[in-house]
Chains A and B, each alone.
Chain A
Amino acid sequence: MRKRYPFLFLMSVLALFSFAFTADEAGYQLGDTAADFKLKNVNGQMVSLKDYKDAKGFIVTFTCNTCPYAKLYEDRLIQLHQKYAPKGYPVVAINPNDVTASPGDSFEEMQKRARQKKFPFAYLHDESQEVARKYGATRTPHVYVLTRTGNELKVTYIGAIDDNSGDPEKVQKRYTEAALDNLLAGKPVQQATTKAIGCTIKWRGDS
């Protein structure tokens, strides 16, 4: 028995290790059908995408209270909503961070932040982190544009909001807006995936 210990230990370390590197490889790709969800909004009500009867689609954005990059984009997220919600694409913001790993991302703190910033969009708490896992979100902020096609919601854009997180004045490429403009014009999205630096989502169980 004593002899086996190092072997068992090694195996469990290896198992943990391989899990750590494969956990978030899944997730939505362009063209996938996005599943609906039911999450609690900061006003206490449960929100699903099917509740938005007139929406042509959604700007689903994984974001949070605590990440400096997410904060830098709060105002730009509000502007996106104000510009595109009337055109049928509201912002739906989702905070997926684990409260234990990131106490500043609790539901109460979300309510506070939403009040301070007067978010005009739903700010939902993905407490179980299931929605973020299903989408394959890795960071905040992380945008998924969904477009209604018949009864389904197709993923039509994944990525960043624009090309300059630090300085809104110096933005040259508004990636999410460009994708939405393509979609609203009935055209294929020209640049359907983009990358940006962001804070890694604080998963439950991670140190």
Chain B
Amino acid sequence: MAFRRTIASCFFVLCLLAAGTGRAQGQRVPLVKLPHLQRYLTSPADTTYIINFWATWCKPCVEELPHFEALQKEYAQKPVKVILVSLDFAKDLEKKVIPFVNRNKLQSTVFVLDEPDQNAWIPLVDPSWSGAIPATLLLNGARKQRFFVEKPLSPAQLKELLTSKFPLNP
């Protein structure tokens, strides 16, 4: 009996340790292919996705990331989901992206889109997108609404976009 309790408490401590290290390391940042992004682009859910295209090397992108983080926090209990799509090169995942995400304690969903032939997928995000970043797509599949912006957004612009074009209770 005592033996079992020891095992149980050992297991408990191990779990704590695992959770602890998990938190210390921050979120995992997966390297994904186009279908992963398309799941959001074609989602039929009544969820408003705010998909922001950024990269660690892009200064205006890095400057606007906190606005998306703040919005995600504010709408944590609502069907609003911020997706931060990093366009850093796959080879920079360990060296640049993960340290950046951890240093800035990013809470929104982050992944690196590893699709070097950009001409093949940029038009799928929005036909008007020339490829400049930052760029942001807001979309709600259930309501068949989408809005694309190829510019940095101020917190006020972002909030205004969300509340005017994607009201939670229409």
Contacts and interface: CB of A to CB of B under 8 A. Distances in A.
22 contacts: A13-B156, A17-B160, A20-B157, A138-B131, A138-B132, A163-B120, A166-B89, A166-B116, A194-B119, A195-B119, A195-B123, A196-B119, A197-B55, A197-B118, A197-B122, A199-B132, A199-B133, A200-B133, A200-B134, A200-B151, A202-B60, A206-B60
Contacts of B157: 17, 20
Interface residues of B, number: 31
Contacts, number: 82
Nearest to A23: B151
A163 B120 CA distance: 9
A25 B154 CA distance: 20
A5 interface: no
Interface of A: 13, 17, 20-21, 68, 138-139, 142, 159-160, 163-167, 170, 172-173, 175, 194-202, 206-207
B26 interface: no
A139 B91 contact: no
A159 B118 CA distance: 11
Interface string B137-161: 0000000000001111010110010
A10 to B, nearest CB: 10
